[in-house]
Amino acid sequence: MIRLRRLRENEVLRNMVRETQISKSDLVYPVFIKEGTNEKNPVDSMPGIYQYTLDRFDEELERIQAAGIPAILIFGIPEHKDECGSGAYDENGITQRAVREIKKKAPELLIIADVCLCEYTSHGHCGLVQDGKILNDETLPLLAKMAVTLAKAGADMIAPSDMMDGHIAYLRKALDENGCVDTLLMGYSAKFASGYYSPFRDAAHSAPAFGDRRTYQMDPANGREALRECEADIEEGADIIMVKPDGGLIGFQQGFVQVGAPGIRPHSGDQVPARFSAQAQNKPRQLPLPGEGNSVNPAHISQAPANGAWAAVGVKFGCGSLLTPGQPQISADAAGG
């Protein structure tokens, strides 16, 4: 008889052989920074989540640091929107200012900057629009300008969530040509079209004004095509690849890991806002306190900082021992729409 239960005999053994573990070092905390002054606006669809003006963000920054969360994923909400999303690549735009200010106050905090036009366009789509069609190639230069301005503002990592073809190669080239050779790129490599993102779109004011995003975000039924997307991002120079949403696509994960590992790329999984919202409706927001240890129980992940919990359950870096020893980790991102 093969007695596999021996490894489950007690808590010490179970902890020792646990294949997948989540710690605070894996978490990324999504934050929403808006134009204006002295505002802290609740996001009704995600209880406990707020939009902050930059002058009010210190209180949340202190909570992030006290909780030991090592990184944030930043989304800006501009006051003005237009057809070409000009606020996205303005050197003095809200996101660029926020990156500079936060990096000055918390230099040790890893800042990941979302790159997409949806929060900045009047039509809410992730690229330029002509006659109802989302333009791919014409959008790339604007995304590149946004990436460069954010990197020069102090962002450590750029996370393009737009799902335009060829964007990783285009951004990598632009970053390198502008002296940002050490800036990391995390691709939303397999980003599936999903209604799960609705709470995020409330938080970021980024819902499309017409149609949907299925002409550029992926069909959730197409696992093989998603692996092609991951392979393309690796070939184009992504430092990290991501699948989103993560929780509803467990069957896709093994192929995702296999694609990421041979390419020597970390990979990430995104637990989406709808999941956080469902949890938050039934459980009060709690922050882990300093001294409570570095381990996070996946069954109680909503106890991590509000939108940070959503991020890995939002962005979780590393899929534990799904990777063989010596291989880089893979990350998961749950933020964005």
Digit-coded pLDDT (tens) for 104-140:
999 999 999 999 999 999 998 989 999 999 999 999 9
Cβ contact 128:143 at 8 Å = no
Please identify which of the residues 24, 34, 145, 191 carries the catalytic annotation.
191
- Of 103, 244, 283, 316, which one is the catalytic site residue? 244
What distance in Å separates the CA atoms of residue 90 and residue 71, rounded to the nearest whole number? 24
Would you say the pTM of this structure is higher than 0.85? no
- pLDDT of the residue at 212: 74
Interacting residues of 127 by C-beta distance below 8 A, sequence separation 6+: 117, 134, 135, 136, 138, 139, 162, 164, 216
Torsion on CA atoms 242, 264, 158, 101, rounded to nearest 10: 110
CA distance 55 to 40: 10
- Read out DSSP for 112-123? EEEE-STTTBTT
Cα 256–239–294 angle (5° rounding)? 80
Query: When comparing pLDDT for 312 and 176, which is higher?
Result: 176
> CA geometry: angle at 273 spanning 272 and 275, to 5°?
75
What confidence tens digit (pLDDT) does each residue in 232-291 have?
999 999 998 888 776 555 555 555 555 544 444 555 655 545 445 555 555 544 433 333
Instruction: Give the pLDDT confidence of 152-201 residue by residue, as tens digits.
Output: 999 999 999 898 999 999 999 999 999 999 999 999 888 888 766 766 66
Q: What angle do CA 244, 229, 143 make, to 5 degrees?
A: 80
Q: Please give the radius of gyration of the chain, using alpha carbons only, rounded to the nearest integer.
A: 19
pLDDT tens by residue, 2-43: 999 999 999 999 999 988 777 888 888 889 999 999 999 988
- Can you count the helices (H) and strands (E) in the chain? 10, 15
Average pLDDT, the chain: 77
244: annotated active-site residue: yes
Beta bridge partners of 94: none
Compute the average pLDDT of residues 55-63: 95
* 34 belongs to the catalytic site: no
Cis-peptide into 284, omega within 30 deg: no
CB 28 within 8 A of CB 313: no
The three state secondary structure string of 216-233 is CCECCCCHHHHHHHHHHH
- Residue bearing tokens 């870096």: 317
Residue 332's pLDDT is what? 40
Cα separation, 318 vs 81, in Å, equals 36
